[in-house]
C-alpha cells in the first residue's frame, strides 16, 4: 500500500469495486460485491461456472452497466475508452487460417482500436520485441498464432494486453484449457508481471489450487455475493457457508484446499453463520 | 505476338468489349479479394452469400424499372446489409438467423422480378444476365461508376482496418478498448455489399460469392501476415478473372460450332481450382518455407 502511495502520490487502490449488484433479465446475478486491488497485487477471482465471474469482469471493463454500485479505476469512475485496463478474454478466435504471427497480434495491442492502417516504425517494433521478451515468447514470435499451443497463445494474448502499459490486467479463465504444466508456467509469468510492472492483476478461475502459491488475495464468488481478503481470511467454512447459504467444509490436504458441501446441504438447511468479511 | 496466336485468338487485344471486361473484371477482383480476406477471417462468408441473393433481387428489380443492373446490385446489397444489421448480425447467434431471413426473403423477390423481367418484352436474356453475368456486354460508360464504388469499398476497409482485425480476434477486447463495434460492423457490411455488387456485375449475382471467397480463402491458407494475404488474394483473383476472360473469348474458336462458353464458368472454375490447389501439401510446404525465410530476415 505504501509503495502505491509513493509511486502515484495518491492513496487509492488501482481498482475499487464498490457494492456492485447486477440483474440480467430479471434474475439477480450479483449483489453487494466489493473489493479493492492495489498495484502489483495478484488477485484470484474464484467461483464455480456460472457464478458470475465473467459478468463481474465485464462490469469492470465497462461493457455491462451494473444496477447498483460503482467501479473506480485509480480513484476515478470508468470512462468509455479505457487503455488503463488490459483484458485477456476467455474466448478468442485464433483460427489456424488467421494470417497473423504472434508478433502481429501483440502489435495490435498498441493501437488496434484506432482507425486507419498502421505505419510501421522502429519504436513499434522495439515495443513489440520488448513485450515478447517479457512473456518469453520470442521463440515463436514469427509463427502463425493459430498453430501455437494453448499456453503459447496465452502468452501472446497477455503480451497484447500488457503492451499499452495498463494499470489493471483482467484475465478471464486463462488456465481453463491448459495442461497443469502450462498452467503453472502462465501463473509464474503473471506473478512476475505483477511484481515487475506493478500492474494490478485480477484472474478468474473455477479451480483455486493452482493459484494458491501465487495469489496475494482472493475474491470468492458464490450465491451472487463475494468475500475477499487473503486466502486464510476467505477460505474458511464460516465465510464460505455464508456465501453459499448452506454449510460447507474446507478441507486442507497436503497444501491444497477442497471446498465440499457439508451435511444437510441438500435439505436446504442453513446454519447460523457470520456475515462474510468486508474487503480490507 | 504471332507465336502466341494459339493462346490469344484473333482480335482479343483490339476488341472493346474485352477492354471493358478486363478493366471491370480486374477492379471487381481486387475489391473482392481485399474485402474477401476480412470476410473469411470474420467467418461471414454466409452473410456474403446472402448479400449476393439480395443483389439478385436488386439487379432484376432494377431492370424492371429501367435502371442498370449495377445500380440494382449495389442498392439491393446496401439495403440487405442494413436489414441484416437491424435483425442482429452483431450477435454471433443472431448472425445465421439474420442472414437466413434476408436470404430467403430476397430470393423470393428475385424469383418474382426475374419472372416479370422475362415476361416483359423490353428485356431479353435478363435471367442469364443477372444470375450468371455478362461482362462482355457491359456498357463502357459503367466504368466510372465502378471506379467510385470500388474506391468507396477500399477506403472503408482502410479506415476500419485495425478495429476490424481486433474485433475479428475478440469483440470483447475491441469493445473494452472503446471500438464502436456496431459502426465498424455496419461499415464492413457496406464494403461487403459493394464488393458483392461489383462481383455480380463481373460474374453474375448468383456466382458473386466465388470471386469474394475463393481467392481470399486460398491466400489465407498460404500466408501468415494480413498484408501478404491481401496481396496474394488480389493476384489470385485478378489472375483467375483475366485468364477466365481470355478462355471465354478463345472458347468461341474451339471446335466448329462457334459458340463462346460463359466467362463466369471459367472464372469460378479457376478460383475453385486455386482453392483446391492451395490445400495441396506441396503448395503449403512451399509457402511455409518461403514465409520462414522472409521471417528470419531482419
B225-264, pLDDT tens digit by residue?
999 999 999 999 999 999 999 999 888 888 777 777 888 8
CB contact under 8 A, B169 and A95: no
Q: Is B97 exposed, middle or buried (0-12, 13-18, 19+ CB in 10 A)?
A: middle
Cβ contacts of B208 within 8 Å, gap of 6 or more: B32, B52, B55, B196, B197, B199, B200, B202
Comparing C-alpha atoms, which of B32, B31, B12 is closest to residue B22? B12
Q: Chain A: residue nearest B169 by CA?
A: A93
| Residue of chain B whose alpha carbon sits nearest to that of A61 | B176
- What pLDDT is recorded for position B3? 59
Q: Identify the closest residue of chain B to A79 by CA–CA distance.
A: B178
pLDDT tens, residue by residue, A123-148: 999 999 999 999 999 999 999 998 99
Please list, in sequence order, all residues whose beta carbon lies within 8 angstroms of the beta carbon of residue A168, skipping any fewer than 6 positions away: A14, A15, A37, A60, A73, A84, A85, A86, A199, A200, A201, A202
Interchain CB distance below 8 Å, B166 and A92: no
Q: From the centroid of its chain, how far is CA B149?
A: 13
* Cβ contact B162–A92 (<8 Å): no
Distance from CA of B186 to the nearest CA of A (A): 15
State the average pLDDT over residues A63-82.
Answer: 84
Instruction: Determine the pLDDT at residue A5.
Output: 41
Least confident of A44-53, A222-231, A261-270: A261-270
Contact A99 B224 (CB under 8 A): yes
Q: Dihedral sign for Cα B27, B31, B36, B41, please.
A: positive
Architecture of domain B14-213: Orthogonal Bundle (1.10)
pLDDT tier, A95 (very low <50, low <70, confident <90, very high otherwise): confident
Backbone angles phi, psi at A259, to 5 degrees: -105, 115
What is d(CA A137, CA B48) in angstroms, rounded to the nearest whole number?
A: 37
* Mean residue pLDDT across chain A: 86
pLDDT of residue A218: 95
A271 reaches B (C-beta below 8 A):
no
Q: Please report the ipTM that was assigned to this predicted complex.
A: 0.83
To probe the interface with B, which of A53, A83, A112, A139 has the most B CB atoms within 10 Å?
Answer: A112
Single out the residue of A86, A67, A43 nearest to residue A231, CA to CA: A43
With CB atoms and an 8 Å threshold, state whether A83 touches B177: yes
A122 touches chain B (CB under 8 A): no
| A82 contacts on B by Cβ (under 8 Å) | 176-178
CA distance A47 to chain B (A): 21
Which residues face A86 on adjacent strands?
A169
C-alpha A208/C-alpha A221 separation (Å) is 12
Asked if A92 is an interface residue toward chain B (Cβ–Cβ < 8 A), one would say: yes
Residue pLDDT tens, chain B, 298 long = 455 666 777 778 888 889 999 999 999 999 999 999 999 998 888 888 889 989 999 998 998 888 888 999 999 999 988 888 777 655 666 677 778 888 888 889 988 998 888 887 566 677 888 888 888 888 888 899 999 999 999 999 999 999 999 998 888 899 888 899 989 999 999 999 999 999 999 888 888 899 999 999 999 999 989 999 999 999 999 999 999 999 998 888 887 777 778 888 999 999 999 999 988 887 777 777 766 655 443 3
pLDDT attached to residue B124: 67
Amino acid at each position: 500500500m505504501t509503495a502505491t502511495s509513493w509511486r502515484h502520490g495518491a492513496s487509492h487502490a488501482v481498482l475499487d469495486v464498490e457494492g456492485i449488484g447486477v440483474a440480467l433479465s430479471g434474475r439477480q446475478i450479483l449483489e453487494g460485491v466489493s473489493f479493492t486491488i492495489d498495484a502489483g497485487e495478484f488477485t484470484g477471482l474464484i467461483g464455480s461456472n456460472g457464478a458470475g465471474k465473467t459478468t463481474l469482469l465485464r462490469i469492470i471493463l465497462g461493457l455491462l452497466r451494473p444496477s447498483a454500485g460503482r467501479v473506480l479505476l485509480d480513484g476515478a469512475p470508468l470512462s468509455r475508452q479505457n487503455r488503463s485496463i488490459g483484458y485477456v478474454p476467455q474466448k478468442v478466435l485464433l483460427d489456424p487460417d488467421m494470417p497473423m504471427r504472434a508478433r502481429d497480434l501483440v502489435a495490435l495491442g498498441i493501437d488496434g482500436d484506432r482507425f486507419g492502417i498502421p505505419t510501421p516504425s522502429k519504436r513499434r517494433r522495439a515495443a513489440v520485441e520488448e513485450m515478447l521478451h517479457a512473456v518469453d515468447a520470442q521463440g515463436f514470435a514469427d509463427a502463425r498464432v493459430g498453430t501455437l499451443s494453448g499456453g503459447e497463445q496465452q502468452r501472446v494474448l497477455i503480451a497484447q494486453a500488457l503492451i499499452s502499459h495498463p494499470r489493471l490486467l483482467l484475465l478471464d479463465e486463462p488456465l481453463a484449457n491448459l495442461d497443469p504444466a502450462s498452467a503453472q508456467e502462465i501463473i509464474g509469468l503473471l506473478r512476475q508481471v505483477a511484481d515487475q510492472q506493478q500492474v494490478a492483476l485480477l484472474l478468474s478461475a473455477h479451480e483455486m489450487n493452482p493459484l494458491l502459491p501465487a495469489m496475494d488475495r482472493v475474491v470468492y464468488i458464490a450465491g451472487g455475493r463475494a468475500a475477499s481478503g487473503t486466502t486464510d481470511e476467505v477460505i474458511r467454512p464460516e465465510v464460505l457457508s455464508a456465501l453459499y447459504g448452506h454449510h460447507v467444509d474446507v478441507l486442507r490436504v497436503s497444501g491444497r484446499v477442497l471446498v465440499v458441501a457439508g451435511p444437510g446441504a441438500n435439505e436446504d438447511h442453513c446454519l447460523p453463520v457470520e456475515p462474510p468479511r468486508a474487503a480490507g | 505476338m504471332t507465336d502466341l496466336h494459339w493462346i490469344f485468338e484473333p482480335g482479343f487485344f483490339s476488341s472493346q468489349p474485352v477492354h471493358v471486361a478486363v478493366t471491370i473484371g480486374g477492379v471487381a477482383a481486387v475489391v473482392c479479394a481485399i474485402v474477401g480476406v476480412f470476410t473469411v477471417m470474420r467467418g461471414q462468408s454466409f452473410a456474403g452469400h446472402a448479400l449476393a441473393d439480395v443483389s439478385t433481387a436488386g439487379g432484376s428489380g432494377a431492370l424492371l424499372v429501367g435502371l442498370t443492373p449495377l445500380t440494382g446490385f449495389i442498392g439491393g446489397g446496401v439495403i440487405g446489409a442494413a436489414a441484416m444489421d437491424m435483425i442482429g448480425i452483431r450477435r454471433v447467434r443472431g448472425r445465421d438467423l439474420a442472414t437466413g431471413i434476408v436470404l430467403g426473403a430476397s430470393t423470393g423477390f428475385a424469383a418474382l422480378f426475374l419472372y416479370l423481367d422475362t415476361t416483359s418484352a423490353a428485356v431479353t436474356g435478363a435471367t442469364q444476365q443477372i444470375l450468371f453475368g455478362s461482362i462482355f456486354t457491359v456498357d463502357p460508360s459503367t466504368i466510372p461508376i465502378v471506379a467510385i464504388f470500388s474506391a468507396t469499398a477500399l477506403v472503408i476497409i482502410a479506415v476500419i482496418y485495425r478495429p476490424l482485425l481486433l474485433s475479428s480476434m475478440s469483440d470483447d477486447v475491441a469493445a473494452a478498448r472503446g471500438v464502436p463495434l456496431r459502426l465498424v460492423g455496419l461499415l464492413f457490411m457496406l464494403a461487403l455489399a459493394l464488393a458483392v455488387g461489383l462481383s455480380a456485375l463481373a460474374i453474375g449475382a448468383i456466382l458473386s460469392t466465388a470471386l469474394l471467397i475463393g481467392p481470399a480463402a486460398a491466400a489465407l491458407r498460404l500466408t501468415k501476415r494480413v498484408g501478404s494475404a491481401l496481396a496474394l488474394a488480389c493476384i489470385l483473383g485478378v489472375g483467375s478473372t483475366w485468364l477466365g476472360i481470355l478462355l471465354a473469348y478463345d472458347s468461341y474458336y474451339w471446335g466448329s460450332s462457334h459458340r463462346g462458353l460463359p466467362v463466369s464458368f471459367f472464372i469460378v472454375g479457376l478460383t475453385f481450382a486455386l482453392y483446391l490447389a492451395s490445400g495441396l501439401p506441396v503448395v503449403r510446404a512451399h509457402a511455409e518455407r518461403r514465409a520462414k525465410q522472409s521471417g528470419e530476415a531482419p
